[in-house]
């Protein structure tokens, strides 16, 4: 199997570091995701991924379960071929991003409970929660507009 060139390996490694630093996913999941973003054809078997990234096939399997549960990657089959193949799920990243934004409502409910707990206590104690709630309220109010604009943009790109 042909190894990726240095710029491609660098991209894959940077994606791994991104996942490790900015998401709850392990670095290896980011490396797999990065590879699936640039590989040709756009689907690869677990064995191909393991060889390309020089990782254990069992690591690929466990990371694929994680990436599929998150709906970032999907499994595909090719008629007449036995291996399972994996590819980036169209729209998966955007859906995950919007789901996380929508989680702001859940945090705001918790913050409301915190404010209730602090009723009648030193107002300075409430400031931390109020600041965080204000931030989350702002973004929660912006989500519908952002979502609409994203859908419009996606439609324009498709057309």
What digits encode the pLDDT tens for the residues 53-68?
999 999 999 999 999 9
Token digits of residue 67: 């990436």
What digits encode the pLDDT tens for the residues 60-102?
999 999 999 999 999 999 888 889 999 999 888 888 877 777 7
Domains of the chain by start residue, with CATH: 6-90 (1.10.10.10), 93-158 (1.10.287)
Q: What is the pTM of this model?
A: 0.76
The answer to whether residues 130 and 115 touch, using CB atoms and an 8 Å cutoff, is yes
Distance between CA 73 and CA 56 in Å, rounded? 19
Q: Where are the alpha helices (DSSP H) in the chain?
A: 6-22, 27-38, 46-53, 57-69, 92-102, 104-117, 123-158
């Amino acid at each position: 199997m042909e190894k990726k060139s240095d710029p491609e390996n660098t991209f894959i490694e940077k994606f791994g570091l991104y996942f490790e630093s900015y998401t709850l996913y392990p670095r290896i999941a980011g490396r797999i995701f990065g590879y699936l973003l640039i590989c040709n054809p756009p689907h690869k078997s677990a064995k191909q991924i393991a060889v390309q990234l020089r990782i254990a096939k069992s690591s690929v399997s466990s990371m694929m379960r994680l990436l599929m549960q998150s709906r970032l990657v999907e499994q595909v089959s090719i008629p007449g071929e036995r291996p399972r193949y994996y590819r980036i799920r169209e729209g998966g990243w955007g859906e995950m991003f919007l789901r996380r934004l929508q989680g702001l409502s859940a945090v705001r409910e918790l913050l409301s409970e915190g404010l209730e707990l602090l009723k009648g206590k030193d107002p300075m104690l409430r400031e931390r929660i109020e600041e965080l709630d204000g931030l989350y309220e702002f973004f929660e109010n912006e989500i519908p507009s952002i979502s609409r604009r994203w859908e419009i943009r996606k439609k324009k790109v498709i057309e």
